[in-house]
Amino acid sequence: MSTLDGVAAAEAHGYQVPRLLRAADVLFTDGRRYRGRVFLPATAESHAGAMRVDEWIEEPASFFPFLPDGEGRPVILSKDRLVVLTVPGAGDPDDVHASSSLPRRQVLVECGPLQVAGEVVIDMPADHLRVLDLLNRAGRFLEVREGERRHFVRKSRITRVTERPAPTTTP
């Protein structure tokens, strides 16, 4: 390796942003599904710690690196062809809504034949607490919480949303 090659390699490494791998499943418009890892920035601009998935997915970049399970090299995927990105969410330290008192609604989200059931957290002003308001808010993805999973559904792929009654608890 020449000195010039060594300088170029060192400079290239100097521009790398530290990343954390996060388990994820991705489903695309053509029906392909991949399991693997997404790369989240290890630091966030607006808070301490790593960037949260909900922040990362809404970044303006149209493409992202993804490390498929069983493969040694990442591939580049398109957010525009993404229907749903699912990540584990139980006990997630980056989950700002887990214990909040914000309004929650049970929904069934349909993207053609695909159905995602769960709850949405409505972090909106008091006069915009409908599911419709949440869907019309800026942003490309709707977060649906289903037990220990968090689904990020591309809004442009949603064909129908049904609000479901909240589960009742028996004393």
DSSP string, 133-148: HHHHSSSSEEEEEETT
Tokens at residue 49, please? 């710690």
State pTM to two decimals.
0.83
Q: Across 9-129, where does the E strand assignment appear? A: 19-28, 33-41, 63-68, 75-78, 82-88, 104-111, 114-121
For the chain, what is the largest distance between any 2 Cα atoms, rounded to a whole number of angstroms?
75
Tokens at residue 29, please? 């418009």
For the stretch 139-151, pLDDT in tens is: 999 999 999 899 9
Tokens at residue 8, please? 């170029």
Residue 97's CB is within 10 A of a number of other CB atoms, namely 17
For the stretch 54-66, pLDDT in tens is: 999 999 999 999 9
- Which band of pLDDT confidence, cut at 50, 70 and 90, is reported for residue 14? low
Q: Where are the domains of the chain?
A: 3-164
**Torsion angle defined by CA atoms of residues 36, 59, 91 and 81, in that order, rounded to the nearest 10 degrees:** -40
For the stretch 79-110, pLDDT in tens is: 999 999 999 985 555 555 565 788 999 999 99
* Residue of 147, 149, 142, 146 whose CA lies nearest to 123: 142
Strands 141-146 and 149-154: antiparallel
Average pLDDT, the chain: 85
